[in-house]
Amino acid sequence: MLEQYFVRPDTIDRIRASWIAEPIERYVAWLSERGYRPRNVCSRVPILLRFGVFTAGRGANAWEDLPAFVEEFVQAWVRERRPHASPERARRFASELRNPIHQMLRLVVPGFVGTSRCRVPGAAFHDRVPGFFGYLREERGLREESVRLYDYHLSRFEQYLATIGLGDLAALSPAVLGGFVAERSTQLGKNALRDLCGTLRVFVRYLYREQVLSRDLSSTIESPQQYRLSDLPRSIGWDDVRRMLDAVDRRTAVGRRDYAILLLLVTYGLRAREVASLTLEDLDWRAERLRVPERKAGHSTVFPLSPVAGAAVLDYLQDGRPETADRHLFFRVLAPPRPLTHAAVSSRASYYLHKAGCEVARPGSHTLRHACVQRLVDAGFAWKAIGDYVGHRSAASTAVYGKVAVEQLREVAGIGEDVL
Protein backbone atom coordinates (compact mmCIF):
# COMPACT_ATOMS: atom_id res chain seq x y z
CA MET A 1 0.00 0.00 0.00
CA LEU A 2 2.85 2.43 0.78
CA GLU A 3 4.17 2.05 -2.79
CA GLN A 4 1.02 3.77 -4.08
CA TYR A 5 1.93 7.00 -2.30
CA PHE A 6 5.71 7.06 -1.95
CA VAL A 7 8.03 6.74 -4.98
CA ARG A 8 11.46 6.65 -3.33
CA PRO A 9 12.41 3.24 -1.88
CA ASP A 10 14.42 4.83 0.94
CA THR A 11 11.27 6.63 2.12
CA ILE A 12 9.36 3.35 2.26
CA ASP A 13 12.29 1.68 4.03
CA ARG A 14 12.34 4.46 6.63
CA ILE A 15 8.62 4.05 7.31
CA ARG A 16 8.92 0.26 7.65
CA ALA A 17 11.90 0.65 9.98
CA SER A 18 9.70 2.48 12.51
CA TRP A 19 8.55 0.48 15.52
CA ILE A 20 4.97 1.55 14.68
CA ALA A 21 5.28 0.65 10.97
CA GLU A 22 2.37 -1.79 11.10
CA PRO A 23 -0.11 0.75 12.58
CA ILE A 24 1.07 3.30 10.00
CA GLU A 25 0.48 0.88 7.10
CA ARG A 26 -2.94 -0.04 8.47
CA TYR A 27 -3.76 3.65 8.71
CA VAL A 28 -2.61 4.33 5.13
CA ALA A 29 -4.84 1.49 3.91
CA TRP A 30 -7.72 2.94 5.92
CA LEU A 31 -7.20 6.36 4.31
CA SER A 32 -7.05 4.81 0.85
CA GLU A 33 -10.32 2.92 1.38
CA ARG A 34 -12.04 6.18 2.30
CA GLY A 35 -10.82 8.09 -0.72
CA TYR A 36 -8.29 10.43 0.87
CA ARG A 37 -6.20 12.24 -1.70
CA PRO A 38 -2.53 11.23 -2.05
CA ARG A 39 -1.26 14.61 -0.87
CA ASN A 40 -3.28 14.22 2.35
CA VAL A 41 -1.88 10.75 2.95
CA CYS A 42 1.68 11.92 2.29
CA SER A 43 1.29 14.85 4.70
CA ARG A 44 0.08 12.63 7.57
CA VAL A 45 2.66 9.84 7.48
CA PRO A 46 5.62 12.11 8.50
CA ILE A 47 3.65 13.17 11.60
CA LEU A 48 3.16 9.53 12.57
CA LEU A 49 6.84 8.72 11.96
CA ARG A 50 7.86 11.61 14.19
CA PHE A 51 5.37 10.42 16.80
CA GLY A 52 6.95 6.96 16.69
CA VAL A 53 10.43 8.37 17.32
CA PHE A 54 9.10 10.56 20.15
CA THR A 55 7.34 7.70 21.95
CA ALA A 56 10.25 5.28 21.54
CA GLY A 57 12.51 7.83 23.17
CA ARG A 58 10.20 7.91 26.18
CA GLY A 59 10.13 4.18 26.72
CA ALA A 60 6.97 3.14 24.85
CA ASN A 61 7.21 -0.43 23.58
CA ALA A 62 3.59 -1.45 23.01
CA TRP A 63 0.83 0.15 20.97
CA GLU A 64 -1.32 0.41 24.09
CA ASP A 65 1.31 2.80 25.51
CA LEU A 66 0.87 5.33 22.69
CA PRO A 67 -2.24 7.29 23.85
CA ALA A 68 -0.41 8.48 26.98
CA PHE A 69 2.12 10.41 24.87
CA VAL A 70 -0.17 12.14 22.35
CA GLU A 71 -0.64 15.46 24.12
CA GLU A 72 2.99 15.68 25.21
CA PHE A 73 4.08 15.11 21.60
CA VAL A 74 1.61 17.63 20.18
CA GLN A 75 2.57 20.38 22.61
CA ALA A 76 6.30 19.75 22.06
CA TRP A 77 5.91 20.05 18.29
CA VAL A 78 3.76 23.18 18.61
CA ARG A 79 6.46 24.81 20.76
CA GLU A 80 9.12 23.81 18.24
CA ARG A 81 7.34 24.71 14.99
CA ARG A 82 5.02 27.54 16.09
CA PRO A 83 6.77 29.23 19.03
CA HIS A 84 5.32 32.67 18.30
CA ALA A 85 1.90 31.67 16.97
CA SER A 86 -1.27 33.23 18.34
CA PRO A 87 -3.36 30.98 20.62
CA GLU A 88 -5.85 30.37 17.81
CA ARG A 89 -3.17 29.43 15.26
CA ALA A 90 -1.44 27.21 17.80
CA ARG A 91 -4.74 25.47 18.56
CA ARG A 92 -5.35 24.80 14.85
CA PHE A 93 -1.84 23.47 14.33
CA ALA A 94 -2.22 21.21 17.36
CA SER A 95 -5.49 19.87 15.93
CA GLU A 96 -3.77 19.11 12.59
CA LEU A 97 -1.14 17.09 14.45
CA ARG A 98 -3.53 15.34 16.81
CA ASN A 99 -6.11 14.24 14.23
CA PRO A 100 -4.04 11.66 12.24
CA ILE A 101 -2.56 10.23 15.44
CA HIS A 102 -6.00 9.73 16.97
CA GLN A 103 -7.30 8.19 13.76
CA MET A 104 -4.43 5.69 13.69
CA LEU A 105 -4.80 4.84 17.38
CA ARG A 106 -8.51 4.12 16.95
CA LEU A 107 -7.50 1.41 14.46
CA VAL A 108 -4.92 -0.33 16.64
CA VAL A 109 -5.77 0.40 20.29
CA PRO A 110 -9.04 -1.28 21.43
CA GLY A 111 -11.41 1.15 23.12
CA PHE A 112 -9.48 4.27 22.17
CA VAL A 113 -11.77 7.22 21.40
CA GLY A 114 -9.59 10.33 21.23
CA THR A 115 -10.51 13.63 19.63
CA SER A 116 -12.87 16.17 21.10
CA ARG A 117 -15.37 15.41 18.29
CA CYS A 118 -16.08 12.12 20.04
CA ARG A 119 -16.49 13.81 23.39
CA VAL A 120 -19.86 12.98 24.93
CA PRO A 121 -21.78 16.17 25.82
CA GLY A 122 -21.93 16.36 29.57
CA ALA A 123 -18.28 15.65 30.35
CA ALA A 124 -17.73 18.96 32.15
CA PHE A 125 -17.65 18.50 35.96
CA HIS A 126 -18.76 14.89 35.44
CA ASP A 127 -16.75 13.58 38.39
CA ARG A 128 -17.78 16.32 40.80
CA VAL A 129 -21.38 17.00 39.72
CA PRO A 130 -22.47 13.79 37.95
CA GLY A 131 -26.19 14.55 37.93
CA PHE A 132 -26.17 18.00 36.33
CA PHE A 133 -26.51 17.05 32.66
CA GLY A 134 -29.14 14.46 33.48
CA TYR A 135 -31.00 17.29 35.23
CA LEU A 136 -30.80 19.41 32.06
CA ARG A 137 -32.10 16.61 29.85
CA GLU A 138 -34.71 15.04 32.10
CA GLU A 139 -36.01 17.80 34.36
CA ARG A 140 -35.52 20.85 32.15
CA GLY A 141 -36.16 18.95 28.91
CA LEU A 142 -33.34 20.62 26.97
CA ARG A 143 -32.46 19.53 23.47
CA GLU A 144 -29.06 18.01 22.77
CA GLU A 145 -27.90 21.22 21.05
CA SER A 146 -28.60 23.16 24.23
CA VAL A 147 -26.84 20.52 26.32
CA ARG A 148 -23.79 20.89 24.08
CA LEU A 149 -23.81 24.64 24.67
CA TYR A 150 -23.89 24.11 28.44
CA ASP A 151 -21.05 21.63 28.13
CA TYR A 152 -19.03 24.07 26.03
CA HIS A 153 -19.27 26.91 28.54
CA LEU A 154 -18.84 24.72 31.61
CA SER A 155 -15.79 22.95 30.19
CA ARG A 156 -14.13 26.37 29.89
CA PHE A 157 -15.21 27.18 33.42
CA GLU A 158 -13.69 23.91 34.60
CA GLN A 159 -10.41 24.80 32.86
CA TYR A 160 -10.48 28.25 34.47
CA LEU A 161 -10.92 26.78 37.96
CA ALA A 162 -7.98 24.44 37.31
CA THR A 163 -5.88 27.42 36.19
CA ILE A 164 -6.51 29.38 39.39
CA GLY A 165 -6.10 26.25 41.53
CA LEU A 166 -9.65 26.02 42.84
CA GLY A 167 -10.60 22.36 43.06
CA ASP A 168 -13.44 22.50 45.58
CA LEU A 169 -16.74 23.75 44.13
CA ALA A 170 -17.89 24.59 47.67
CA ALA A 171 -15.30 27.39 47.59
CA LEU A 172 -16.95 29.18 44.65
CA SER A 173 -17.50 32.87 45.30
CA PRO A 174 -18.85 35.91 43.43
CA ALA A 175 -15.24 37.01 42.86
CA VAL A 176 -14.35 33.71 41.14
CA LEU A 177 -17.47 33.77 38.98
CA GLY A 178 -16.91 37.43 38.10
CA GLY A 179 -13.28 36.77 37.20
CA PHE A 180 -14.28 34.01 34.79
CA VAL A 181 -16.98 36.13 33.14
CA ALA A 182 -14.54 39.05 32.81
CA GLU A 183 -11.94 36.81 31.18
CA ARG A 184 -14.43 35.33 28.70
CA SER A 185 -15.91 38.74 27.89
CA THR A 186 -12.73 39.56 25.93
CA GLN A 187 -13.36 36.53 23.67
CA LEU A 188 -17.15 36.44 23.29
CA GLY A 189 -19.76 38.70 21.76
CA LYS A 190 -22.76 39.99 23.68
CA ASN A 191 -25.06 37.13 22.79
CA ALA A 192 -22.51 34.44 23.61
CA LEU A 193 -21.64 36.19 26.88
CA ARG A 194 -25.33 36.32 27.78
CA ASP A 195 -25.55 32.55 27.15
CA LEU A 196 -22.49 32.00 29.31
CA CYS A 197 -24.00 33.93 32.22
CA GLY A 198 -27.26 32.03 31.88
CA THR A 199 -25.35 28.73 31.93
CA LEU A 200 -23.47 29.72 35.08
CA ARG A 201 -26.67 30.79 36.83
CA VAL A 202 -28.35 27.45 36.15
CA PHE A 203 -25.20 25.59 37.24
CA VAL A 204 -24.69 27.36 40.58
CA ARG A 205 -28.42 27.16 41.29
CA TYR A 206 -28.16 23.39 40.83
CA LEU A 207 -25.11 23.29 43.10
CA TYR A 208 -27.11 25.09 45.78
CA ARG A 209 -30.03 22.69 45.35
CA GLU A 210 -27.68 19.72 45.76
CA GLN A 211 -26.14 21.40 48.83
CA VAL A 212 -22.71 21.66 47.23
CA LEU A 213 -22.94 25.41 47.86
CA SER A 214 -24.15 26.85 51.13
CA ARG A 215 -25.88 29.77 49.40
CA ASP A 216 -27.36 30.53 46.00
CA LEU A 217 -24.85 32.60 43.99
CA SER A 218 -26.97 32.89 40.85
CA SER A 219 -28.08 36.45 41.65
CA THR A 220 -24.43 37.61 41.65
CA ILE A 221 -23.96 36.72 37.96
CA GLU A 222 -25.03 39.69 35.85
CA SER A 223 -25.52 39.41 32.10
CA PRO A 224 -24.41 42.25 29.81
CA GLN A 225 -27.07 44.88 29.22
CA GLN A 226 -29.01 44.24 26.03
CA TYR A 227 -31.86 46.39 24.86
CA ARG A 228 -34.68 44.97 22.83
CA LEU A 229 -34.52 45.89 19.13
CA SER A 230 -31.21 47.70 19.72
CA ASP A 231 -29.47 46.14 16.71
CA LEU A 232 -30.16 46.66 13.05
CA PRO A 233 -30.68 43.57 10.89
CA ARG A 234 -27.41 42.59 9.19
CA SER A 235 -29.01 42.07 5.81
CA ILE A 236 -27.67 42.84 2.33
CA GLY A 237 -29.46 44.16 -0.71
CA TRP A 238 -30.61 41.94 -3.54
CA ASP A 239 -27.86 43.26 -5.83
CA ASP A 240 -25.33 42.01 -3.28
CA VAL A 241 -27.12 38.66 -3.18
CA ARG A 242 -26.80 38.32 -6.96
CA ARG A 243 -23.13 39.32 -6.81
CA MET A 244 -22.51 36.70 -4.14
CA LEU A 245 -24.22 33.97 -6.18
CA ASP A 246 -22.23 34.99 -9.27
CA ALA A 247 -19.03 34.48 -7.25
CA VAL A 248 -19.69 30.72 -7.01
CA ASP A 249 -17.78 28.54 -9.47
CA ARG A 250 -20.42 25.98 -10.39
CA ARG A 251 -18.03 23.98 -12.56
CA THR A 252 -16.77 22.16 -9.46
CA ALA A 253 -18.51 19.80 -7.04
CA VAL A 254 -17.87 22.27 -4.21
CA GLY A 255 -19.38 25.09 -6.22
CA ARG A 256 -22.50 23.12 -7.14
CA ARG A 257 -23.01 22.17 -3.50
CA ASP A 258 -22.41 25.70 -2.21
CA TYR A 259 -24.65 27.29 -4.85
CA ALA A 260 -27.55 25.06 -3.76
CA ILE A 261 -26.89 25.89 -0.10
CA LEU A 262 -26.80 29.63 -0.71
CA LEU A 263 -30.05 29.53 -2.67
CA LEU A 264 -31.82 27.62 0.12
CA LEU A 265 -30.54 30.11 2.71
CA VAL A 266 -31.62 33.22 0.84
CA THR A 267 -34.81 31.87 -0.76
CA TYR A 268 -36.39 30.40 2.36
CA GLY A 269 -34.51 32.26 5.10
CA LEU A 270 -33.35 28.96 6.58
CA ARG A 271 -30.95 28.74 9.49
CA ALA A 272 -27.60 27.00 8.96
CA ARG A 273 -28.67 24.18 11.28
CA GLU A 274 -31.84 23.62 9.26
CA VAL A 275 -29.89 23.36 6.00
CA ALA A 276 -27.32 21.01 7.54
CA SER A 277 -30.06 18.67 8.83
CA LEU A 278 -31.88 18.33 5.46
CA THR A 279 -32.14 14.79 4.11
CA LEU A 280 -33.08 13.28 0.77
CA GLU A 281 -36.52 12.48 2.18
CA ASP A 282 -37.19 16.19 2.76
CA LEU A 283 -37.34 16.77 -1.01
CA ASP A 284 -40.63 15.73 -2.60
CA TRP A 285 -39.89 16.08 -6.30
CA ARG A 286 -43.31 14.94 -7.51
CA ALA A 287 -45.24 17.40 -5.37
CA GLU A 288 -42.46 20.02 -5.74
CA ARG A 289 -42.23 20.50 -1.98
CA LEU A 290 -39.38 21.09 0.46
CA ARG A 291 -39.91 20.01 4.06
CA VAL A 292 -37.91 21.61 6.88
CA PRO A 293 -38.34 19.47 10.02
CA GLU A 294 -37.52 20.32 13.63
CA ARG A 295 -37.24 24.08 13.35
CA LYS A 296 -36.09 26.21 16.25
CA ALA A 297 -39.65 26.91 17.35
CA GLY A 298 -40.33 23.15 17.57
CA HIS A 299 -42.43 22.77 14.43
CA SER A 300 -41.84 21.80 10.80
CA THR A 301 -42.54 23.77 7.64
CA VAL A 302 -43.34 22.67 4.09
CA PHE A 303 -42.40 25.09 1.28
CA PRO A 304 -43.13 25.04 -2.44
CA LEU A 305 -39.86 24.01 -4.07
CA SER A 306 -38.48 26.98 -5.98
CA PRO A 307 -37.57 26.03 -9.57
CA VAL A 308 -34.20 27.79 -9.26
CA ALA A 309 -33.33 26.24 -5.90
CA GLY A 310 -34.64 22.86 -7.01
CA ALA A 311 -32.52 22.93 -10.16
CA ALA A 312 -29.44 23.80 -8.12
CA VAL A 313 -30.05 20.95 -5.67
CA LEU A 314 -30.66 18.50 -8.54
CA ASP A 315 -27.44 19.60 -10.24
CA TYR A 316 -25.55 18.86 -7.02
CA LEU A 317 -27.24 15.48 -6.55
CA GLN A 318 -26.39 14.42 -10.10
CA ASP A 319 -22.82 15.65 -10.13
CA GLY A 320 -21.36 16.52 -6.75
CA ARG A 321 -22.86 14.56 -3.87
CA PRO A 322 -20.72 11.55 -2.90
CA GLU A 323 -22.11 8.03 -3.11
CA THR A 324 -23.01 7.09 0.44
CA ALA A 325 -25.74 5.30 2.37
CA ASP A 326 -26.13 8.34 4.62
CA ARG A 327 -29.38 10.17 3.78
CA HIS A 328 -28.19 13.68 4.59
CA LEU A 329 -28.37 16.06 1.65
CA PHE A 330 -25.12 18.02 1.88
CA PHE A 331 -21.68 16.50 2.41
CA ARG A 332 -18.14 17.74 2.70
CA VAL A 333 -16.03 17.11 -0.38
CA LEU A 334 -12.84 15.89 1.31
CA ALA A 335 -12.63 12.28 2.39
CA PRO A 336 -14.08 10.67 4.36
CA PRO A 337 -17.54 11.88 3.27
CA ARG A 338 -19.37 13.32 6.25
CA PRO A 339 -22.52 15.46 6.41
CA LEU A 340 -21.84 19.19 6.57
CA THR A 341 -22.21 20.71 10.02
CA HIS A 342 -24.16 23.92 10.64
CA ALA A 343 -20.83 25.67 11.29
CA ALA A 344 -19.60 24.60 7.84
CA VAL A 345 -22.79 25.90 6.20
CA SER A 346 -22.35 29.29 7.84
CA SER A 347 -18.66 29.30 6.95
CA ARG A 348 -19.44 28.78 3.25
CA ALA A 349 -21.88 31.68 3.28
CA SER A 350 -19.25 33.87 4.96
CA TYR A 351 -16.66 32.82 2.36
CA TYR A 352 -18.78 33.89 -0.61
CA LEU A 353 -19.89 37.13 1.03
CA HIS A 354 -16.23 38.04 1.51
CA LYS A 355 -15.38 36.89 -2.02
CA ALA A 356 -18.12 39.09 -3.49
CA GLY A 357 -16.99 42.09 -1.44
CA CYS A 358 -20.27 42.42 0.47
CA GLU A 359 -19.67 44.67 3.46
CA VAL A 360 -21.72 43.48 6.43
CA ALA A 361 -21.09 42.94 10.12
CA ARG A 362 -20.46 39.28 11.03
CA PRO A 363 -21.09 37.78 7.57
CA GLY A 364 -22.53 34.28 7.58
CA SER A 365 -25.67 32.26 6.97
CA HIS A 366 -27.77 34.60 9.10
CA THR A 367 -26.86 37.46 6.75
CA LEU A 368 -28.78 35.66 4.01
CA ARG A 369 -31.64 34.87 6.39
CA HIS A 370 -31.87 38.57 7.23
CA ALA A 371 -31.76 39.44 3.52
CA CYS A 372 -34.70 37.09 2.87
CA VAL A 373 -36.78 38.59 5.69
CA GLN A 374 -35.92 42.16 4.76
CA ARG A 375 -37.00 41.53 1.17
CA LEU A 376 -40.37 40.21 2.39
CA VAL A 377 -40.77 43.24 4.66
CA ASP A 378 -39.97 45.63 1.84
CA ALA A 379 -42.50 43.81 -0.34
CA GLY A 380 -45.23 44.59 2.20
CA PHE A 381 -46.02 41.12 3.57
CA ALA A 382 -47.74 40.93 6.97
CA TRP A 383 -45.54 40.32 10.04
CA LYS A 384 -47.37 37.09 10.86
CA ALA A 385 -46.89 35.70 7.37
CA ILE A 386 -43.18 36.58 7.40
CA GLY A 387 -42.69 35.10 10.85
CA ASP A 388 -44.38 31.86 9.83
CA TYR A 389 -42.33 31.70 6.64
CA VAL A 390 -38.95 31.90 8.36
CA GLY A 391 -39.96 30.06 11.53
CA HIS A 392 -39.90 32.87 14.08
CA ARG A 393 -41.26 32.01 17.51
CA SER A 394 -42.93 35.38 18.05
CA ALA A 395 -43.85 38.53 16.17
CA ALA A 396 -41.23 40.44 18.17
CA SER A 397 -38.50 38.51 16.34
CA THR A 398 -39.81 39.81 13.03
CA ALA A 399 -40.55 43.33 14.22
CA VAL A 400 -36.87 44.32 14.28
CA TYR A 401 -36.93 44.40 10.47
CA GLY A 402 -39.55 47.13 10.53
CA LYS A 403 -37.34 49.62 12.39
CA VAL A 404 -35.87 51.07 9.22
CA ALA A 405 -36.95 51.37 5.61
CA VAL A 406 -33.75 49.87 4.27
CA GLU A 407 -34.30 50.29 0.56
CA GLN A 408 -35.49 53.88 0.97
CA LEU A 409 -32.44 54.72 3.06
CA ARG A 410 -30.21 53.24 0.39
CA GLU A 411 -31.86 55.52 -2.14
CA VAL A 412 -31.30 58.54 0.13
CA ALA A 413 -27.64 57.55 0.55
CA GLY A 414 -27.31 57.33 -3.23
CA ILE A 415 -28.81 60.83 -3.65
CA GLY A 416 -26.38 62.13 -1.07
CA GLU A 417 -23.47 60.71 -3.01
CA ASP A 418 -24.73 62.31 -6.22
CA VAL A 419 -24.93 65.69 -4.48
CA LEU A 420 -21.36 65.37 -3.21
Nearest-angstrom CA–CA distance, 123 and 131: 11
Are 76 and 54 in contact, with CB atoms under 8 Å apart?
yes
Question: Is 257 annotated in the active site?
Answer: no
What is the SS3 assignment for 294-344?
Answer: CCCCCCCEEEECCHHHHHHHHHHHHCCCCCCCCCECCECCCCCCCECCHHH
Which is catalytic among the residues 184, 295, 375, 392? 392
Dihedral (Cα; 314, 255, 98, 343), 10-degree rounding: -70
Q: How far from 275 is each of 68, 272, 371, 377, CA to CA, in Å?
A: 39, 5, 16, 23
Beta bridge partner(s), residue 291: 302
Q: Which one of the listed residues 201, 321, 366, 370 is annotated catalytic?
A: 366
**Which is the catalytic residue, given 205, 296, 332, 342?**
296
342 noted as active-site residue: no
- DSSP assignment of 181-250 equals HHHHHTTS-HHHHHHHHHHHHHHHHHHHHTTSSSS--GGG-PPPP--TT-SPP----HHHHHHHHHTS-T
Interstrand relation of 301-304 and 283-284 (parallel, antiparallel or unpaired):
unpaired
Sequence letter at residue 156? R
9-16 and 21-33 helices cross at what angle (nearest 10)? 120
Q: Which long-range contacts does 127-132 make (Cβ < 8 Å, 24+ apart)?
A: 128/169, 129/169, 129/206, 129/207, 129/210, 129/212, 131/210, 132/203, 132/206
Active site residue 271: yes
Catalytic residue, chosen from 98, 184, 348, 369, is: 369
Catalytic residue of the set 44, 98, 271, 348:
271
Contact in structure between 244 and 262 (CB atoms under 8 Å): yes
Active site residue 355: no
Known active-site residue 227: no
Closest CA to 322 of 253, 266, 375, 238: 253
Taking alpha carbons only, the member of 164, 312, 191, 189 closest to residue 178 is 164
Residue 296 falls in the annotated catalytic set: yes
* Alpha-carbon 253 to chain mean position: 22
Catalytic residues: 271, 296, 366, 369, 392, 401
